[in-house]
Amino acid sequence: MAKRDDMKAPWQQAAEASAGGDAEQCAAAASLLVMRDTPDGAELLIVRRAAGLAFGGGALVFPGGRVEPEDWRGPADDPEAAARHAAVRETREETGIACAVETLHPFARWRAPPGLARRFDTRFFLAPAPGAADPRADGVETDEAFWARPAALLAAAEARPGLLLFPTFCLLARLAALPDYARARADAEAWPRPVITPRVEQRADGAWLAIDQGLGYPRTARPVAAQRRA
């Protein structure tokens, strides 16, 4: 009888290897940081997840989602290529904006810690906005799609707990310091891109989510309470 691994499709084996043997508990996902330059500074493409969704309902996030079998179009041992196709596909489905795969640049990779009911191993890619892009929500997974400056989103999150998930918060804080796409791309190339797994730290004022310093993120911690919707 064939071993269980031998019965998996090549793309499934590659995804599991990429996730450090944790693919069955941590789904491969991809997200796109679409940026456009404006006279007032760089803006990012943002979607609001539908309130009824089990994961992140009502949160503001970058477009993205799971890597599906259809995204494995090239070599079966290239999970980053599959993630690029997934990021483009999900962004098109959720916002109507179609970015070209060849314009994507790796920016970060975040993996949820063990113990959560829903875990994702997400590759984030940076891409320039394709011309005069007018986003529209799909009305299913997203109920709003729009352009926004990172600083404005961070300010809104201060007054609304649960508006930003921790990875989104950290990425926005990093991008808020970058005035245009050219600087953002240079920043992506200037820092290492290890797999980032947040941890919970017990501090004097309660539980905090935290990541390691020295990876390009100006904000590396946030109270756990800020993750919960009021």
pLDDT in tens, 142-191: 999 999 999 999 999 998 888 999 999 999 999 999 999 999 999 999 99
How deeply is 9 buried, as exposed, middle or buried, from its count of CB atoms within 10 A (0-12, 13-18, 19+)? exposed
- Average pLDDT over the chain reads 88
How distant, in Å, are the alpha carbons of 47, 67, 77, 104, 162 from that of 11?
A: 29, 10, 7, 21, 34
Question: Given the DSSP bridges, would you call strands 60-61 and 43-49 parallel, antiparallel or unpaired?
Answer: antiparallel
pLDDT in tens, 24-77: 579 999 999 999 999 999 999 999 988 777 667 789 999 999 999 999 987 777
Residue ranges of domains in the chain: 5-227
Distance CA 203, CA 192 (A): 28
pTM: 0.88
CATH fold of the domain at 5-227: Nucleoside Triphosphate Pyrophosphohydrolase (3.90.79)
